[in-house]
């Protein structure tokens, strides 16, 4: 059968379709082999090339097609694959999901090369997850609740029962031109000509009226000069007025949370179809420092990652310093983790991985390296799909790309603060790694880092208790009340990663990139050194 498949693939590459079908019948007395499914590549484009779909036509001959939103690279040689006819989603800029949609393709699959796999999720959840992910080009769902996400280029497209492909495409009418620019297919020259004639006639009537109204309004305000509000360049952020945000929050009535330097209120933007937002009003002490506010807006405005809370706009008017974020419907990780919801182990693993990816982006992938300095459950928010989103990183210390260490005053929350904060030594990104290690233990065991335990002081500090159980090979004691845990080896892996993160010596702690790879299973998790 292997030789038969190879022979069919060779014939497909050098002979016309009719010849392939005829030769297939001569090779086998039975039905022709399904070239689309039998010739797939772990690394490669498959029978019809990248971003294409192979299906069987008459007499078992392969036919290459392009999915919705794609066209052949070369119609004279369809085996070269397909290309997008729309501008792809941009990870470096805000790409609203309403610019993109997913096209259903029943009984379709693109085997291999998925970069993310979710189990026991709904099709709607998978659909929204792919729309929110700028890397996702196609998602595969099946009745078993699997969701496979694939980036560009995807390959080995074929017909397969019980699988549905969700193809992402741009919803506007823009297409790629030969030079890569965006062009509109409709010729508007006639409309422009007619519009010019009409506009010249209308202006002769309306322009004097407009002039009169403007002059009257100016005099009615006693010639008051209105200074335009400054807009920070280089960022796709809305510059709100204070009155807009006052109305949106119903005069700042519904408080969502309060921190050391700001209070957050829930708001509804009438100008954005009733979109809910979180409005963060900085207190007087921070408001006095205009440079710090601008640093926060500059830092957050240039970040864009699915595991960070997105900044939508700001207000820098008079004494008012306000930030407007997207609203996270499921609140903070603290409420979810320590409340009555009892998140399952799968949810906790995804949250831990999402936080790690968000910190990796802040430390290594955004334009200016950012140290968060206050990683804790209260600063991790959850969106509609319980995706972890890091918040409150705007006031963190910024490091230049050529700078590796920064001295600053102690920040953070007791219990999550790295030991080097108390030693007057240079602070690096490793302080976030330490805080993440404490947070990871909380996620694993669904308990706070410090809890009073009646009659047993050894269990009060979670990090100490977990480390003692780890060293004594008694990790099962930590899961006595968790009926869901049945794989002690997997739990030991996560505890080991946490112990690596909370090493007292910062140089021994892994980077967030290595932490992410260990959680994903790409890098082996070795035994950590003893805690000092």
Residues serving a catalytic function are: 374
The token duo for 455 is: 């009659």
H helix runs in 170-289, sequence order:
189-220, 242-248, 284-287
How many Å apart are CA 121 and CA 337, to the nearest integer?
Answer: 20
Sign of CA dihedral 406, 410, 413, 414: positive
Radius of gyration, alpha carbons of the chain: 29
How many Å apart are CA 5 and CA 182, to the nearest integer?
Answer: 42
SS3 531: coil
Whether the Cβ atoms of residue 419 and residue 433 lie closer than 8 Å to each other: no
How many Å apart are CA 154 and CA 41, to the nearest integer?
Answer: 11
The token duo for 36 is: 């689309």
The token duo for 209 is: 């009226």
Whether the Cβ atoms of residue 46 and residue 154 lie closer than 8 Å to each other: no
Q: How far is CA 136 from CA 133, 166, 168, 350, 493, in A?
A: 5, 10, 8, 17, 29
User: Residue holding tokens 């999901």?
Assistant: 97
Whether the Cβ atoms of residue 260 and residue 251 lie closer than 8 Å to each other: no
DSSP 68: T
- Nearest alpha carbon to residue 499 among 525, 479, 481: 525
Q: With residue 370 as reference, give the H or E element that holds it.
A: strand 369-370
The token duo for 50 is: 């990248």
The 3-state secondary structure of 282-301 reads ECHHHHCCHHHHHHHHHHHH
How many Å apart are CA 150 and CA 191, to the nearest integer?
Answer: 42
The token duo for 85 is: 């006819």
DSSP 152: S
Whether the Cβ atoms of residue 308 and residue 372 lie closer than 8 Å to each other: no
């Amino acid at each position: 059968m292997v030789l038969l498949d190879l022979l069919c693939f060779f014939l497909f590459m050098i002979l016309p379709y009719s010849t392939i079908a005829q030769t297939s019948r001569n090779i086998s007395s039975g039905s022709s082999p399904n070239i689309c499914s039998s010739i797939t590549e772990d690394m490669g484009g498959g029978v019809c090339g990248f971003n294409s779909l192979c299906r069987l036509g008459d007499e078992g001959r392969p036919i290459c097609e392009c999915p919705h939103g794609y066209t052949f690279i070369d119609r004279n040689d369809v085996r070269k694959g397909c290309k997008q006819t729309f501008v792809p989603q941009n990870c470096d800029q805000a790409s609203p999901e309403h610019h993109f949609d997913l096209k259903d393709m029943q009984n379709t699959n693109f085997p291999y090369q998925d970069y993310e796999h979710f189990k026991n999720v709904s099709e709607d959840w998978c659909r929204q997850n792919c729309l929110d992910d700028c890397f996702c080009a196609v998602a595969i769902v099946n009745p078993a609740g699997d969701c496979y996400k694939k980036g560009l280029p995807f390959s080995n497209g074929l017909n397969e029962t019980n699988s549905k492909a969700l193809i992402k495409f741009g919803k506007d009418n823009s297409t790629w031109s030969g030079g890569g620019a965006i062009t509109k297919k409709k010729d508007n020259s006639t409309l422009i000509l007619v519009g010019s004639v009409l506009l010249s006639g209308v202006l002769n009537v309306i322009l004097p009226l407009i002039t009169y109204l403007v002059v009257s309004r100016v005099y009615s305000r006693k010639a008051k000069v209105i200074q335009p509000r400054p807009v920070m360049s280089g960022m796709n952020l809305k510059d709100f007025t204070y009155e807009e945000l006052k109305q949106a929050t119903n005069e700042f009535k519904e408080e969502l949370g309060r921190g050391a330097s700001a209070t957050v209120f829930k708001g509804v933007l009438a100008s954005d179809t009733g979109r809910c937002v979180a409005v963060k009003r900085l207190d007087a002490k921070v408001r006095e420092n205009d440079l710090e506010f601008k640093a926060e807006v500059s830092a957050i405005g240039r970040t864009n990652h699915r595991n960070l809370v997105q900044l939508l706009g700001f207000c820098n008017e008079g004494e008012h310093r306000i930030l407007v974020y997207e609203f996270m419907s499921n609140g903070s990780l603290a409420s979810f983790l320590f409340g009555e919801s009892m998140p399952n182990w799968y949810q906790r693993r995804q949250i831990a991985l999402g936080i790690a990816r968000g910190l990796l982006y802040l430390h290594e992938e955004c334009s200016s390296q950012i140290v968060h300095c206050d990683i804790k459950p209260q600063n991790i928010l959850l969106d509609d799909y319980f995706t972890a989103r890091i918040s409150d990183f705007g006031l963190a210390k910024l490091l230049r790309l050529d700078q590796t260490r920064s001295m600053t005053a102690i920040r953070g929350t007791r219990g999550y603060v790295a030991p080097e904060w108390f030693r007057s030594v240079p602070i690096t990104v490793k302080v976030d790694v330490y805080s993440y290690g404490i947070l990871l233990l909380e996620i694993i065991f669904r308990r706070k880092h410090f809890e009073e335990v009646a009659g047993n002081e050894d269990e009060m500090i979670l990090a100490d208790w977990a480390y003692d159980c780890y060293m004594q090979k008694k990790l099962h004691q930590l899961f006595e009340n968790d009926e869901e845990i049945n794989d002690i080896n997997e739990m030991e892996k996560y505890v080991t990663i946490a112990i690596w993160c909370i090493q007292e010596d910062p140089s021994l702690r892994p980077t967030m990139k290595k932490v992410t790879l260990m959680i994903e299973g790409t890098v082996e998790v070795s035994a950590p050194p003893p805690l000092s």
